Amino acid sequence: MGPGYDQGPSCPGNHTSVTFYNVGQGDCSVFETADRRWRAIVDGGTAKAGASHLPHLLSRAPFGLLVATHYDRDHVGGLIKLVRESGRAGIARALLPPVIHPTGDAQRVVGPYGTLVDESVLLADHLAIKSVHDVLAPLDELAGESRGRLREAMADATGGRLRELSIDREPAPSDIRRPGRGAPSKAIRILEREDLPNLLTFLIAARDLRRFIAVDQSFSRYGPSRAILTAAGELSLAVIQVETLDKLIAALKAHGIPWSCQPAPDRVTPSRDAGLAIYHLAPTRRYVKAKASLLPTSWTMLLRVADGVRAPLPSESNRLSHVLVLENLGSVLFTGDAAFATTPTDSMSVGWERIVRKVDLIDVPHHGGRWGEFGGRFLDALLRQPRRPVSVYASVAPRKVKIPGRWFGSFLTALARKRALSAVISNEPGAVAGWSASGASAQDGAGPFRTVIHFDSGVAAVCPASSAPAVRLIPTASPVGRQVVRISPSGDPAEATAGR
């Protein structure tokens, strides 16, 4: 953190503002009302990336709301550290990611007076009263039922050439500590600690297979080996997401911070209040339950590890993300990357299009290149208000990752042609194909350290409190460029000039 970076906890002036913290591979942003009385933090990057911003984030506490949009560590890791450091005085309440229980089990949720509220399939509600071991136990049982099939598949995959297998015995310390490529070592360590032998056996066997493939260059990765490695990857992901969410819940519990993990309402309507309004748009309860019902079948098919079986992956069924719009003298759409990538419209609250039409700033996550069905409907909703200016902040990954890609570029082009696109702001120069960058050069290898954007009458401007001017991305194709406004480095809207 160089000199002159921290120019106060807030963007000066009487306007709604959003601060985007550059965490590289991930997202972290703070929404602040114009009266400076309420703030929300949405995601926190990885633990390592979030640590570099922790002093500034702590200076902005208290936060009225902490939101973890989804379970990926590049969004949740930094929040765990923030909760541990800020405590009850720094966070009023939290909304946890809508991760479904690994096998879709339902858990009775009890209200404050001991009354039954609902049967929840969300992982957070399970972890509130169960240990990591108990949550993963049903998955361990399923893996145990598949040990015989795994043994056959390993023999087929290696042609009988890999003889040192741990499938027929309990894993020994030498199996767990053995170096080599394969299933993430973190998942193996978690399973050893939680005493889940069937899951542990599966991941160790997959690691043995990976090492065998790495040594025998003539060996093909396809057939039974592909099925085994796919299943192991899904198991590892399930184990790590359970442990990551458990750490966040433990930190919240330790400081007595209230939290919830409720789905979005089935229907949402715009508020007439000019003050603060929070719209929770996805995922809805009916959509969550529908996805949970698919998981037992998905795991059963996946753990058969039969060549040719194309099971729907549990991770795809469970990639849910909160979609929120926060409004205060303007609107901002926050979302996790999973929502923009794969969320279909039937996961959204009825009436979400009316809320989206009010949006002034769209926070597009770093995986915004995969729009899917939701992207088209989202764009259609935006274009129904062609004269209302809208700005886009592209939270992108490091340069070595080529995202967002052409789909996001197409989205920007369509938006600029049909609607007043007041600014396109990014923390990564030249990251979007088909658009050229101008403005500040990278400071830390991934763009400006943080970017503050404020709203005056619905027009976004880069605040001078940012450590560096944001990069503006201007479309290279005419006539789109004539409809884009370039915000000056000072952030003064009066100095904005139309791009030609």
Q: What are the tens digits of pLDDT across the range 70-87?
A: 888 888 999 999 999 998
Domain assignment present for residue 54? The answer is yes
At position 218, the amino acid (one-letter code) is S
End-to-end Cα separation, the chain, in angstroms: 37
Q: Per-residue pLDDT for 232 more than 80?
A: yes
The token duo for 334 is 């926050």
Within-domain flag for 294? no
Q: 249 lies in a domain?
A: no
In eight-state DSSP terms, residue 265 is P
- Count of domains forming the chain: 1
Q: Which pLDDT score, from 0 to 100, does residue 208 have?
A: 81
Residue pair 99/239 in contact (Cβ under 8 Å)? The answer is: no
Determine the length of the chain: 500
Task: Give mean pLDDT, residues 250-266.
Answer: 93
In a domain, 430, yes or no: yes
Contact (CB, 8 A) for 246 and 127: yes
Closest CA to 322 of 80, 120, 70: 70
Say if CB 432 and CB 463 are below 8 A apart. Answer: no
E-strand stretches of 89-246: 94-95, 107-110, 116-120
Q: What pLDDT score does 15 carry?
A: 82
3 state SS of 103: coil
pLDDT at 123 over 90: yes
Domain harbouring 438, CATH code: 3.60.15
pLDDT at residue 243 tops 90: yes
For the chain, counts of helices (H) and of strands (E): 15, 20
More confident site: 469 or 392: 392
Q: Which residue has the higher pLDDT, 39 or 224?
A: 39
Predicted local distance difference test score (pLDDT) of residue 73: 85
pLDDT digits 0-9 by tens, 177-193 = 544 444 447 899 899 99
Residue 379, domain member (yes or no): yes
What local confidence, expressed as pLDDT, does residue 72 receive?
85
For residues 290 and 318, give the distance between their C-alpha atoms in angstroms, rounded to a whole number: 11
Among 321, 355, 326, which Cα is nearest to 340's?
A: 321
Look up residue 116 and give its amino acid.
L
On whether residue 58 sits in a domain, the answer given is: yes
Weakest mean pLDDT among 139-153, 453-467, 480-494: 480-494
> Which of the 8 DSSP states describes residue 109?
E
Domain that holds residue 434: 17-97+321-498
Mean pLDDT to the nearest integer, 431-441: 43
CA distances from 350 to 69, 194, 268, 286, 347 (A): 20, 42, 6, 12, 9
Positive or negative torsion for Cα 93, 96, 98, 99 = negative
CB atoms within 10 A of CB 189: 15
At residue 335, the pLDDT reads 78
Look up the pTM and report it.
0.84
pLDDT at residue 238 above 50? yes
Q: Which strand (E) or helix (H) includes residue 186?
A: helix 185-194
462 or 405: whose pLDDT is higher?
462
Is the sign of the CA dihedral 69, 334, 325, 385 positive or negative? negative
Q: Is residue 125 over pLDDT 50? A: yes
Among candidate residues 304, 312, 307, the one with its CA nearest the CA of residue 150: 304
Per-residue model confidence (pLDDT) at position 293: 92
pLDDT confidence tier of residue 220, bands split at 50, 70 and 90: low
Using alpha carbons, list the distances in angstroms from residue 70 to 82, 158, 295. Answer: 17, 37, 18
Predicted confidence (pLDDT) at residue 43 exceeds the cutoff of 90: yes
Kindly indicate the confidence band of residue 367, based on its pLDDT and cuts at 50, 70 and 90. low
Q: Looking at the domain assignment, is residue 446 inside a domain?
A: yes
Residue 369 has pLDDT above 70, yes or no: no
The 3 state secondary structure assigned to 394-435 is ECCCCCCCCCCCHHHHHHHHHHHHHCCEEEEEECCCCCCCCE
Structure tokens given for 128? 């509130």
**pLDDT given at position 447:** 46
Picking from 489, 492, 439, 484, the residue whose alpha carbon sits closest to that of residue 466 is 489
CA 476 to chain centre: 30
Point out the least confidently predicted range of 76-80, 310-314, 433-437. 433-437
CA-wise closest residue to 391 among 327, 459, 310: 459
The stretch 141-145 carries a mean pLDDT of 93
DSSP 482: G
Work out the pLDDT band at 493, boundaries 50, 70, 90.
very low
Residue with the larger pLDDT of the pair 487 and 144:
144
**DSSP-assigned states of every residue in 45-103:** --HHHHHHHHHHHHHT--BSEEE--SS-HHHHHHHHHHHHHH-TTTBS-EE---PBPTT
Task: Give me the residues paired with residue 17 across strands.
Answer: 32, 454
Helix axes 147-158, 224-254, angle to 10 degrees: 130
Task: Tell me what pLDDT residue 344 has.
Answer: 67
Averaged pLDDT of the chain: 75
Contact present, 391 and 424 (Cβ < 8 Å) = yes
Is residue 381 domain-resident?
yes
Tell the burial category of 48 from Cβ atoms under 10 Å away from its Cβ (0-12, 13-18, 19+). Answer: middle
* Residues near 75 by beta carbon (within 8 Å), at least 6 away in sequence: 26, 27, 43, 44, 45, 68, 69, 336
Strands of the sheet with 331-335, listed across from one edge = 277-282, 323-327, 331-335, 361-364, 390-394, 421-426, 471-475, 435-438
